[in-house]
Amino acid sequence: MSFEETKEYGGTKVHHRRGGKKASSHSQKLHHHSSSNKAEKKKFGNIRRLKRTVSRKSIQLLNNGKRLREDLAPWMKTIWVKLRLNTRRSMPDHKSYLENVYAPQAKVYDRMRAQGFLWGRKPMLAACAERLTDNYESRRQSRLGELVWVDLGGGTAENVSLMSKYIPLKCFKAIYVVDLCSSLCDIARQKVKENGWDNVHVVEKDACSFDPKEAEADLVTFSYSLSMMRDPFTVIDKMFSYLNPEMGVVGVADFYVSSKFDFPHRQMSYFNRFLWKSIFDIDNVDLGPERRQYLDHRLVRVFEYNSSGTIPYIPFIKAPYYTWVGVPPTDVNVEKAEAEAKRSRPMSFPPTFIYSVNWEDPIVDKPILNIGPEDVVLTLTSGGCNTLHLAAHGAKHVASVDLNPAQSALCELKVQAIKRLEYEDVWKMFGEGKHENIGEIFESKLAPWLSQGSLNFWSKKLHYFKDGLYYHGAMGKVLLAVYWMQVIFGFRKKILKFTTAKTIEEQRDIWTSFWFVKVFLYMPALVFSFIQHILTLLVLNKVVCWLGLGVPPKQYNLIGSDGRGMCEYAGATLHGAAMQTLMSNDNYFYRVCMTGSFTKESCPEYLTESCFKKLKDGLVNNISVHTDYFGSVLALRKYTKVVLMDHVDWLNDQLVEELAANLQKQVVSGGRIIWRSASLNPPYVKVFSAHGFDCHCVHRITDKEYNGCIDRVNMYASFWYADRK
């Protein structure tokens, strides 16, 4: 007698047949499968440790000896051919040279080189595809289906396969893969036939003499080919004879070395310039900077990314590459992307952003600022939420500045996500803090629009969206500690109940039932004072408050000058917010602290569908993000409104004087500045008054009518505004 039983192992259904030898045999197979998995993990454990320095492709190849032999055999033959050719007194013509070099490796070219070495190819194609389909350019939308693409030095047509991931190939009327090497063209023709690409044409011809049948091309790409062309300037000049003068896009990906004096993100040391130029010279590849400089001269640069990528089978060494996208200077709708300054974080800052959300209540700011369509606003970036809110309220321009490059990267990502993604994707990223397809949408939709600094940051930190954005960053680590405290002390469920209370009365009852709240409310004064000192020493000291909560030493001292300890200050902040504001549909600040995510009923305004639509319809384009000193961006233009947040609390007396003098110069007459302070009576108010500002306090935490809660954040002791006389 036998019967079947179904069980689940890690989500996989396994059928067991009980009775007889079959069940025993099946059980042995399961045991063997489990043991082999463990053996594989142990066997390849050391290889996985090298994943940061060895390409994933190399690891895959090393795990398969047959594949390794298949790859190395043609490559060894290629190296021998190059050595033989380079030792001759005279080089063969370019076509013969290419054929001699690439014929032995043509069959494995895509697998080994194109997919595991040419790292700039995908970013370049994604950046080009995004510009061809830009939602903010209706003229480009009308061209879809009639586009012509010329891929110069296209080799095996692998670019066509890759481009299909970013834009449907049916959007192109014709695609020309132009290459001088017969062996690579044969592979390309075979690929075209296998995939049924009716609009793809393989042309075996010199790029200097090629003309598309349609007489005009919308996209021209050079994928690791410009550095191999013996007459690159002629090719570029020839390209202009058929490039669409109004809407054309040119994309380049290649290896590079910088010039001796170059743009900050291109600049290399003498050693690297000498090393890589010498290595690639053996391969008859010229990495001189003049090719890119000529592109900069003839075209308008709109995107550039400089990085380095791993090399198959060679650990610990990375080759420099760049991705570059430009448009004709006759395209009047495009502004040139200025050479980006290389910004490093100050040594006192953590290696990530401090704040993932703004800690200033925009509802309180709104009537004080009274933003209008002619307002030019300067604000500190912080989490970037209020920057988006100011734009949504209709400001003509919002300049957002922060000295921490990571804060700028976060704000820039939010801006581009609103521009390029649908609402549900933006909600997942910044509402829930997680997105299951973050890698795919980042590569195809967001990365092509980010600055070099932001790309560098998010390329390393994209995992934030895998396990919760709001548990990352400096403050995120504090929130993660709070989460584990909830779990360890057994009040996680009660916290969730607290954040979902339907009424303020229900929320108050839950809050006052927590044992730690009872202790702090009813303990004797002497005991309370002792515990305050212990908590301040261990948890709320200057180091933790700065690196975890973003409270600098100067502001920390301001709190003490009002006669309040940090423990008392923090307790009053939380208690006031818990007793006076509802977490479930209003106070999103503390809800995200306790749960790690927002809800659509309790979230920043920019995450609501109505505000998202206003921003996406064009208001988001009024934002500029700067990584710089506040004073440097203040000096760029005149402003009608300036949001200082709590920035002045951070400054010493000399810097306060400089700031006040600069505000006097740059804020127009009748303009307004606002700020918050951890002090009830910040000492710098008189400095602003002396520099032509009429200062007013909106409210203080001690005002009786507010019952210890002046806004949903309730973190500051006072809120001020000043009008320029």
CB-based contacts of 541, cutoff 8 Å, min separation 6: none
pLDDT-derived band at 46, boundaries 50, 70, 90: very low
Cβ 53 vs Cβ 316: under 8 Å: yes
Q: According to the model, what pLDDT value does residue 639 have?
A: 98
Task: Report the alpha-carbon distance of residue 179 to residue 514 in Å, rounded.
Answer: 73
Task: Report the alpha-carbon distance of residue 143 to residue 244 in Å, rounded.
Answer: 12
If you average pLDDT over residues 83-87, what whole number do you get? 54
Task: Report the alpha-carbon distance of residue 391 to residue 618 in Å, rounded.
Answer: 10
Q: According to the model, what pLDDT value does residue 53 have?
A: 44
pLDDT of 568 over the 50 cut? yes
Closest listed residue to residue 233, CA positions, set 288, 282, 302: 288
pLDDT tens track for 398-415: 999 999 999 999 999 999
Residue linked to tokens 């820039």: 412
Out of 20-29, 61-70, 201-210, 344-353, the most confident range is 201-210
If you average pLDDT over residues 82-107, what whole number do you get? 67
Cβ 160 vs Cβ 151: under 8 Å: yes
SS3 250: strand
Q: According to the model, what pLDDT value does residue 537 have?
A: 72
Residue percentage of the chain with pLDDT more than 90 = 64
Closest listed residue to residue 222, CA positions, set 307, 294, 130: 294
Encoded tokens for 357: 């959300």
pLDDT of 330 over the 50 cut? yes
Residue percentage of the chain with pLDDT more than 70 = 84
Encoded tokens for 637: 């233009």
Encoded tokens for 88: 């001759």
Question: Going by DSSP bridges, is the β-strand pair 376-380/667-677 parallel, antiparallel, or unpaired?
Answer: unpaired
Encoded tokens for 615: 């921003």
Least confident residue range of 56-65, 81-90, 219-228: 56-65
Least confident residue range of 54-58, 460-464, 521-525: 54-58
What torsion do the CA atoms of 231, 237, 243, 247 make, to the nearest 10 degrees? 120
pLDDT of 478 over the 80 cut? yes
If you average pLDDT over residues 377-393, what whole number do you get? 97
pLDDT of 36 over the 90 cut? no
pLDDT tens track for 507-530: 999 999 998 888 777 777 777 777
First to last CA, the chain: 97
What's the CA angle centered on 712, arms 708 and 718, to 5 degrees?
55
Task: Report the alpha-carbon distance of residue 503 to residue 505 in Å, rounded.
Answer: 5
Handedness of CA 675, 678, 679, 683 (dihedral sign): negative
Task: Report the alpha-carbon distance of residue 379 to residue 360 in Å, rounded.
Answer: 12
For residue 242, the tally of other CB atoms under 10 A from its CB is: 17
Task: Report the alpha-carbon distance of residue 220 to residue 152 in Å, rounded.
Answer: 7
Cβ 410 vs Cβ 357: under 8 Å: no
Helix (H) or strand (E) holding 724: strand 718-724
SS3 14: strand
Residue linked to tokens 């994943």: 51
Q: According to the model, what pLDDT value does residue 334 have?
A: 64
Residue 604 Cα to chain centre, angstroms? 20
Least confident residue range of 66-80, 113-127, 623-637, 675-689: 66-80
pLDDT tens track for 669-717: 999 999 999 999 999 999 999 999 999 999 999 999 999 999 999 999 9
Q: For residues 526 and 6, which has the higher predicted lDDT (pLDDT)?
A: 526
Kindly report the length of the chain. Answer: 725
Q: According to the model, what pLDDT value does residue 310 have?
A: 87
pLDDT-derived band at 542, boundaries 50, 70, 90: confident
Q: What are phi and psi of 250, to 5 degrees?
A: -120, 125
CB-based contacts of 554, cutoff 8 Å, min separation 6: 649, 650, 651, 652
Q: According to the model, what pLDDT value does residue 558 have?
A: 80
pLDDT of 89 over the 70 cut? no
Say whether pTM exceeds 0.75. Answer: yes
Task: Report the alpha-carbon distance of residue 725 to residue 722 in Å, rounded.
Answer: 9
pLDDT-derived band at 56, boundaries 50, 70, 90: low
Closest listed residue to residue 389, CA positions, set 632, 550, 588: 588
Question: Going by DSSP bridges, is the β-strand pair 623-627/376-380 parallel, antiparallel, or unpaired?
Answer: unpaired
Q: According to the model, what pLDDT value does residue 184 have?
A: 92
For residue 639, the tally of other CB atoms under 10 A from its CB is: 24
Residue 250 CB-density burial (10 A; 0-12 exposed, 13-18 middle, 19+ buried): buried
Cβ 105 vs Cβ 74: under 8 Å: yes
Looking at every residue in the chain, the average pLDDT score rounds to 85
Q: According to the model, what pLDDT value does residue 535 have?
A: 75
Domain annotation for the chain: domains and CATH numbers: 3-43 (no CATH), 120-327 (3.40.50.150), 354-360+370-467+606-640 (no CATH), 503-595 (no CATH), 644-725 (3.40.50.150)
Task: Report the alpha-carbon distance of residue 200 to residue 202 in Å, rounded.
Answer: 7
**Residue 670, beta-bridge partner list:** none
